[in-house]
Amino acid sequence: MQNKLYKIPDIFRGTPFFQNQTHFCVLHNEVNEILLKEPFYFDMLAIQQAQEVENLPWNHPKECVPVLFNVWKQLMLKAKEGFMKRDKSDLQKKSLLKCLSLYIVCLHWMNKRSVQAIKVYAMSINKMLLKPVNCEERLQFIIDNPYQYHAFVQLEQLFAELEKSFYKALAMNKL
């Protein structure tokens, strides 16, 4: 069985994302496995209006956002290990980009929307109900410096703040 290929939408292309990749293929795995391989997968499929996406994950944040947090924790441990080993390989860089991509996805899905842009100014973060303080500026710093340790520390902090606000909103029945 051959996997169907889709072109990566132009709105997902730009530094540092999808520099050398033009297409992605349809995956038939569990959600967490898909997110480990390609965090923007569901958002890109939705833009393509592909029939492969039946249950849009951002319409179900109670179920889907905890999966994102679990995937983040897996990737974060690998990325931290890479920093400790001073690993500057392409594999480490891909891992860091996946961590950053997961954050963008998590921020959007938590606010019941799909990712429509990877440029911070086009994300309308300030209009989102659930977001960390100074999220736009902090996210821009990380996108501008995706492979630096300080950016990774900032990303960890943003994820921790996002997770707290998610569970607080969940407890207050705001999701």
Whole-number pLDDT of residue 136: 96
Coil, strand or helix at 69: helix
Task: Spell out the residues 6+ positions from residue 84 whose beta carbon is closer than 8 angstroms to its own.
Answer: none
Give DSSP secondary structure letters for 90-135: HHHHHHHHHHHHHHHHHHHHHTT-----SSGGGS-GGG-SS--TTH
d(CA 166, CA 144): 26
Q: Which two structure tokens, joined as six digits, stand for 84?
A: 């400790």
**By C-alpha distance, which of 122, 109, 150, 154 is closest to 135?**
154
**Cα–Cα dist 148/133, whole Å:** 21
Is 85 exposed, middle or buried, given 0-12, 13-18 or 19+ CB atoms closer than 10 A?
exposed
For residue 40, the model assigns a pLDDT of 95
Q: How far apart are CA 116 and CA 11, in angstroms?
A: 7
Query: According to the model, what pLDDT value does residue 175 have?
Result: 75
In one letter, which amino acid is 97?
A: L
What pLDDT sits at residue 174?
78
Distances (CA, A) of 8 to 44, 114, 141: 7, 15, 24
Cβ of 50: how many Cβ atoms within 10 Å? Answer: 14
Domain membership of residue 38 as a residue range: 5-171
Report the domain count for the chain: 1
User: Would you write out the chain's pLDDT as a tens digit for each of its 175 residues?
Assistant: 457 888 999 999 888 999 888 998 888 888 899 999 999 999 999 988 766 667 789 999 999 999 999 999 999 999 999 888 988 888 889 999 999 999 999 999 999 999 999 999 999 999 999 999 999 999 999 999 999 999 999 999 999 999 999 999 999 987 7
